[in-house]
Amino acid sequence: MAHVRASLVRAVPGGRLIEIACDESGSDGENLTGGNTDVFAHASVHLPVEFAAHSLQEIRDRIRSPAEEYKANHLLREKHRTVLEWFLKPDGPLYGHAQVHLTEKPFFVVDRMVDLLVGDAGTTAVTLYREGRDAFDAEQWRDFLESSNNLLRVRNDGESDAPVNTFFRTVGALSRTYSGDDDGNGLGDILAALLAARSRADAYRARIVETPGVYPVLNPLLPAIVRTAAHWSGTGRPVSLVHDRQNMLTEERIAWLKETARLAGLRLVVARSDPRVQLADFLAGIARKIASDERGGRGDARLTTLLRPYVDHTSVWGDDRSWAVLGPATDGDRTMAPHL
């Protein structure tokens, strides 16, 4: 494989337009607090098609599974640990030619809710997320996350004002429970600011009932694609994306992405039809699992270290302990990734 890599990686297109292959893992639509995963990962790869095909064959040769289509789970099996490490290591197929944007789903919900109701999410969302988890018991915090999620989601199966009523009832209960001292920027002040924002919540719910809009607030895919485009266009060259088919990526949203992210193009393909997208699929699934394990205190130090060079520094992540080891080493002491 080494001689193939030497000849083909140098052949990464050097013209003005660069084509990036993408896929995601961990999509649960707008259900970010009660879905199957707590992390969303969007991976992108910049490699020649021929080299990607050789890499897939190398993986098949190493794993030797009869499966017609390989997925990330093949590499994540313990018996294929050496293949997984090779895949991420500097002598593997992706090093220096791939990127992963991570989204910690519960924090993403808090961040988007604070931005809607208070504005200027930034440190306010981080303070609420980090201090709230310590200040309240697990059931109270889970209720808060779920009510925040339901407030923001477009779909509503009950009464139109039910999500707003539930959210403010939940925040009111937290505010009455909280007994900490504030210095003007603490948790108690944030809860008070949220309680004072009922009119904004009502206006938001009324607006999405009338016109749901192109950009669903709760879906992490669109901001991840915008960030992916920004990452690869850092050289000033126009970027075109090849993305695995996703129901979220309607024609209207693709048009929005092309304009917002200044993409030269965005086309959807079946993952198995493009070896570059298959590699992105592997990386997204692997990154989601490693990041989720690290967030849950089950991290594998070796795998986390191997993933770290691929992680985008603007990933949306609020948990400081796990970000300290997941985030790019060049971030120094920074423990929270800035977000869109």
pLDDT, tens only, 292-320: 999 999 999 999 999 999 999 999 999 99
As separate numbers, helices (DSSP H) first and strands (DSSP E) second, the chain gives 15, 5
CA-CA distance, 326 to 311, in Å (whole number)?
7
The predicted pLDDT at position 275 comes to: 96
Question: E strand or H helix at 24, and its extent?
Answer: strand 18-25
Tens digit of pLDDT for each residue in 108-152?
999 999 999 998 778 999 999 999 999 999 999 999 999 999 999
Longest dimension (CA), the chain: 66
- Helix ranges restricted to H, the chain: 2-9, 49-63, 72-76, 81-88, 105-117, 122-135, 138-152, 162-177, 187-195, 198-210, 221-232, 251-260, 275-295, 301-307, 320-326
User: Reduced to 3 states, what is the DSSP secondary structure of residue 316?
Assistant: strand
Kindly give the parts of the chain with pLDDT less than 50: 1-13, 331-340
Assess contact for 176 and 189: CB atoms under 8 A. Answer: no
The predicted pLDDT at position 15 comes to: 56
User: Reduced to 3 states, what is the DSSP secondary structure of residue 274?
Assistant: coil
The predicted pLDDT at position 119 comes to: 87
Question: E strand or H helix at 43, and its extent?
Answer: strand 39-45
pTM: 0.90
CA-CA distance, 146 to 89, in Å (whole number)?
38
Q: Which two tokens stand for residue 6?
A: 């030497």
